Amino acid sequence: MGGFTEAGARRADARAGWRFGNPFLLVPLVLACAEAPPPEDTAQPPDLPSAIIGEGGALEGSDLKYVDGDELTTGYLAVPDGGGPFPALVIIHEWNGLQDRVRQLADDFADEGYVTLAADLFRGRTGSNPDENMALVREAQSDPAAMITNLNAAVAYLKGRPDVTGRVGAMGWCFGGGIALSFGLDGANHEATAIFYGRLVDDPQVVARLNHEVYGTFAALDNQPSPESVAAFESALRAAGVEHDLHIYDDVNHGFWLRVDGNPDVRAAPAADAWERLKAYLQRTLG
């Protein structure tokens, strides 16, 4: 990606600081030239998007009204530096609505070379506690067709941009993971579906509506979905002949990937593996 903005530099500094344990420990790196530390002290946690380690920094993108005639629905658009054309992503928030962590992750995906639109399925609203979150989820789920229409509009906006290749993927977490799968089944043509823990289906006739490879990251200590639900989903994909890359990570629970900073000692390694798989998947499907 061409150029390096000040905010992008802050995110890069944050990633480096997280890897080394402290962003201000520059002098010890110089002193290390005189006496190299033992091998066990040089091991670094893997590189991860700055947003998911809690170091997302200032937002670089902009708000976007992408649904015609709807002034309440407000997404967030992050665009790579340079002229493109770039592949594109629609990312779908969790049950609490479009929060800054998801916006920061959109910036991280832009750094990876994807025009990224963080969709808004709650018409500008967010929740601050479980009761508010569930009320928003129930309202959205009461009209599934409206959610598909919303995401179709997001894809249409991206495909209409001159700096987009025409290839678009959809991705979500928790509530958004289930919606990403629903959109893969019922939405307008797009080329990738990535699910991070979310509601699944186990009917081969239903999943046969998917016309592209599916990515999924799940947690062994989760029950939404449980490992058994993931296994049933994978069996359905196999029966339907749908290509897939699914993995259940041991020792982690629901939400581990988007919030590595909640328990980095446990979550960093599986999150990094999921990240490498995701980057490879997006390269395969979106190019």
pLDDT at residue 141 is higher than 50 = yes
End-to-end CA distance of the chain: 14
What is the average pLDDT across 44-72?
90
Question: What was the pLDDT predicted at 19?
Answer: 34
Q: With bands split at pLDDT 50, 70 and 90, how would you rate the model's confidence at 46? A: low
Q: Which CATH number fits domain 6-286: 3.40.50.1820, 2.60.40.10, 3.20.20.140, 3.20.20.10?
A: 3.40.50.1820
pLDDT tens digit sequence for 219-231: 999 999 999 999 9
In residues, how long is the chain? 287
Question: What was the pLDDT predicted at 201?
Answer: 96
pLDDT at residue 41 is higher than 90 = no
Question: What was the pLDDT predicted at 12?
Answer: 42
pLDDT tens digit sequence for 163-216: 999 999 999 999 999 999 999 999 988 999 999 999 999 999 999 999 999 999
Question: What was the pLDDT predicted at 73?
Answer: 96
Question: What was the pLDDT predicted at 76?
Answer: 98
Structural domain spans, the chain = 6-286
Q: With bands split at pLDDT 50, 70 and 90, how would you rate the model's confidence at 27? A: very low
What is the Cα–Cα distance from 234 to 195, expressed in whole angstroms? 13
Question: What was the pLDDT predicted at 54?
Answer: 94
Q: With bands split at pLDDT 50, 70 and 90, how would you rate the model's confidence at 45? A: low
Percent of the chain residues past pLDDT 90, beyond the cut: 82
pTM over 0.85: no
Question: What was the pLDDT predicted at 6?
Answer: 39
Strand partners, 189: none
What is the Cα–Cα distance from 56 to 45, expressed in whole angstroms? 17
Contact 197, 218 (CB under 8 A): yes
Rg (CA), the chain: 19
What is the average pLDDT across 42-68?
86
